[in-house]
Every structure is written in structure tokens, then in C-alpha cells.
Structure 1
Amino acid sequence: MDSLLVLAADPAAWVALATLVAMEVVLGIDNLIFISIITNKLPEHQQARARRIGIGLALILRLALLGTVAIIVRLTSPVIEVFGIPLSWRDLILIAGGLFLVWKATKEIHHSVDPTPTPDMFDQRKPQLGYTSAIGQILVLDLVFSIDSIVTAVGMTPHVPIMVIAVLAAVTVMLLAADPLANFIKANPTVVILALSFLLMIGMTLIAEGFGAHVPKGYIYAAMAFSVAVEGLNMMARRASQRRGGNKAAH
């Protein structure tokens, strides 16, 4: 308790907490996009529950990993060498997670644009994914994002209480944003391709980082923000065009 009071009285600890909360929220966006896309393919009555379970699993994994910080730190020690590049367990997990994201995003993009007659992925009466399968896929990516999140937290502060508060804050934001984000994606089918493109880019980033090529996150999120802005303008243009068409039909 005394150590917590000392931390609470330390301005540097508050700065570290604010920075870490912001970082954890940003890292949680990737996780949330994946959860939204996967759960939107379930029957409507299962979607909200699956999102809550997915986010709950993310919280449990992050807190469990925080309880093994010493082990997590050791995950960064090289255990194997591939093409002359030393890889740690964390690197291997990031590479595996990145490959999974690239495979999943590519598969979903193919289903979205395939001209052959296939079941509509947006038709909620024809779910394309089983409930257990959806939770399993969410669990796999939760693990990858959780390890990346905790390693980032360990690198920013040595204080576990600050890490716990930051993780709880980030997961709370994910929980509040989950349904609005999923509903927005469902209501705007073109956004699905954009979100899948983000997952493809994030997957490639994870693979690159696993092989030791550091990609500044600022570049990634700046590109995502620009793409969202362009899609927002496209949506505004479509709605304006629909209104003009409606007015002409009325006359």
C-alpha cells in the first residue's frame, strides 16, 4: 500500500500512466477491428455475446501475462536463428500471428469480391462461421496482441500497478467501442474491405517486426487515419448522390 501511495504522489508515474493508457488503447484498435469483423459473421443474437467474450479473453490474457512479467521479458531472448536472423519466442509468436492475420484478411477479401455466386457474407441469415470457431480465432489473435501489448508496457514502465491500470482502461474503452464499431461496419459494407486492408497491413507489420524490422507505429496509424478520412469523404459523396437522385425522382 505504501508503494502505491508513493507512486500516486509521483508526477512521473502519472505521465507514464497517461502515455501507457494511450498506447494500450491504440494497440487495442487492431484487436477490436478483428473482433468486430469476425463477430459480424455470426447470427445476430450471438454477436454481442461473442464480442464481450472476445474482449473478456483479451483482458484475462493481458492480466495473466502481467502476472508473469519476468517470463514475458525472457521471451525476448533469441532461441533460434532463421536466415541468419536470431528470433525469440516473442518474434515467433508475432510472425505466426502476422501470418494468421494475412491469411484471414486475404480470405475474407476474396469472399467479399469473388464474382462467383457464393453465400452473402453480410446476410445474417446465412452465418459463415461457427460460434466456437469465431471464439477460437479471436483467442488466437488476443494472445498475439496481448503479448505485444504487455511487452510494450514492460518497455515503458517498471511499475506493474501502472501496467494493470493501463490495461484495464484500454479494455474498458474496447468494451464501450465494440458494439458501435461492429454496427458501423455492418451498416457500411465498403468499410469491411477497408478494415480487412488494415488487418492485412497489421499482419505484415507483425511479420516484419518478428524478423527484426521495426516499423514505427505512427506511420501505420497515420496511413489508417488517412484511409478512414478518404472513405468518410466517399460515404458523404454517396449519400449526397442518393439525395440528389431521390429529389429528381420526387420531381
Structure 2
Amino acid sequence: MPIIDFLAPHFAWIDSPTAWVALLTLVVLEIVLGIDNLIFISILTNKLPEHQRARARRLGIGAALLMRLALLATISFIVQLTNPLFTLFDHPFSWRDIILIAGGLFLVWKATKEIHHTVDPTDHKDTMVGTLQLSLGGAIFQILLLDLVFSIDSIITAVGMTDEIAIMYIAVIAAVTVMLIAAAPLANFIAKNPTIVMLALGFLLMIGTTLIADGMGFHVPKGYIYAAMGFSALVEGLNMLARRKKR
């Protein structure tokens, strides 16, 4: 059985409790890191006509999964992205830093444009997608573009946790599956609660800023970011409950 003989070395870790702990930790980490991307996908796809939203989410997340699996296949190249390219202001910049900065700027720009449109809805030029009409292909392209940034960062994080490529594949597939299941409920919740949109855009603005800071060498612990997001979401949840009681 040549297939079994080929796969056997990649699953030799199954009998190791330590490997299972690493797998569980990595799955949770990938899911948490995917929250940022999921918020972006929810806001972006809600700009599409209603009959295209579910399809855009499925295609975008499915294509993102294929891209992540392809990136894992070139993991030796991904790891080399952390090698310094040049030094500026006493900080060595690598391809990873450049990608994080570019992705952060992209996210800040998108979130700022959408916040402007939300504050001034009569101005139909400054929206998250540049125009009011967003095509299905354009939405999928933007989903993949941002997912590329988060994918490279999460893969480099995964390499630091385990040497087993099979564990990385399983963690990525599990995390993206959770994203696929949660995408529709989250998008519907955001669409039905307009105040949540501004909060979500604030999250994206904060995430974009931390990506830029990380690329510049100023690492902000993810725990602080998600704690702030969780606290803000809790306060907004209480506000929503209060408004519902008044009604």
C-alpha cells in the first residue's frame, strides 16, 4: 500500500500526548487569529446583493483554505520570509514585515473609508470597496488579499509551535471549517445590528494598526487586542440589551 507507506511517517506523532496538545493549541490559535479575517469578510460580503452574499463567503473562504494549504506546501520558503532584507532606523526589515505593513495599511484604508461612508451616507464615493457596486469576483479577490497577510503570520506562528506538517494542515483545515460555519451567522448579525458595524470597523482599524506596528518591530501581544475587543463587544451587548428592554 504505497499511499499508507507515504503517509505513515507524517502521522507518527499520533501516539504522542505532547503532539495532541500542540494540535489542540494550534487549532484554537488559528481560530482566534481567524476572527480578524472573519469580521472583514462579514462586512465586505454584506456589500454584495443579498443573493450573492452566501456564495461569496463560501467561495472566498474556500479559496482561502486552498491558498493556506498551498502556502503550507512551501513552508520552507515561508520561514525564509523572516530573514532580514535591509535595515532602516536600526530595525531589520524582512519580507514578513513588509507584508504585515502592507496588509495593515490596506486594512486601515478600507476601514477608514467605510467609517467615512457610515458617518456620511450621502457620500457614495468613499465606501469599503471604492464604489457602491461590488462584484462577486472583487469581493473574493479582497478576501484572498487580506487572508494572505494573516496566513503568512499564522503559518510562521505554527512553525514555532510544532515541526509536524500534518498537525499544521489539520489545524488550518479545522480553523477554516469553523470560519465557514460561523461566517453566515456573524454576517447576518452584523447586518441586523447597524451599531455593531461601527464597532467591527473599529476592530479592523485597531487590527490594521497593530499589523503596521508589528511590521515596524513594535510587537503588541495579541491577548491585549482580543481582550479589548471582547470588552468592547460586552459593553455593546449590554447597550443592545438596554435598548431592547426600553422598546
TM-score normalised per structure 1: 0.90
Corresponding residue number in structure 1 for 2:158: 153
User: What letter matches 1:231 in structure 2?
Assistant: E
- Residue by residue over 1:159-190, the C-alpha shift from the partner in whole angstroms, topping out at 9 and shown as x without a partner, is 10000000010001000000000000000011
Superposed displacement of residue 25, structure 1? 0.3
Q: 1:78 aligns with which of 75, 84, 99?
A: 84
* Structure 1 position 61 matched with structure 2 position 75: no
The residue that corresponds to 2:3 in the other structure is: none
Q: 1:133 aligns with which of 125, 131, 138?
A: 138
Structure 1: runs of 5 or more not aligned: 243-251
1:155, distance to aligned residue in structure 2 (A): 1.1
2:38 matched residue in structure 1: 32
Counterpart of 1:183 (choices 184, 188, 193) is 188
Q: Give the letter for the 1:191 counterpart.
A: I
Per the TM alignment, residue 61 of structure 1 is displaced from its structure 2 partner at its CA by: 1.4
Work out which of the two has the higher radius of gyration on C-alpha atoms and give 1 or 2: 1
2:202 is equivalent to residue 202 of structure 1: no
Confirm or deny that 1:223 pairs with 2:231. Answer: no
1:44-97 Cα deviation digits (max 9, x unpaired): 011001111111122111101100111011000011223332110011000000
Distance 2:89 2:134 in 1: 37
What secondary structure sits across from 2:160 in the alignment? helix
Identity over the aligned pairs, expressed in percent? Answer: 68
- 1-structure distance, mates of 2:11, 2:48: 46
Could you tell me how far apart the structure 2 residues matched to 1:89 and 1:198 are? 25
Is residue 2:240 matched to residue 1:239? no
The answer on 1:15 being equivalent to 2:21 is yes
Alignment pair present for 1:43 and 2:39:
no
- Code of the residue aligned with 2:197 in structure 1: it is V
Task: Check conservation: 1:42, 1:127, Cα contact below 8 A.
Answer: no
Distance verdict in 2 for CA 1:131–1:6, change over 3 Å = closer
- 1:198 shift after superposition: 0.5
Moved over 3 A (4+): none
Unaligned stretches of 5+ in structure 2? 1-6
Is residue 111 of structure 1 aligned with residue 117 of structure 2? yes
1:127 Cα offset (Å): 4.9
TM-score calculated relative to the size of structure 2: 0.92
Correspondence for 1:169 among 166, 174, 194: 174
Please list the CA deviations of residues 210-243 of structure 1 after superposition, one character each: whole Å capped at 9, or x if unmatched: 111111111000000000000000000111111x
Q: 1:144 aligns with which of 130, 136, 149?
A: 149
Deviations 1:126-165 (A, max 9, x none): 9542323222211210111111111111111111000000
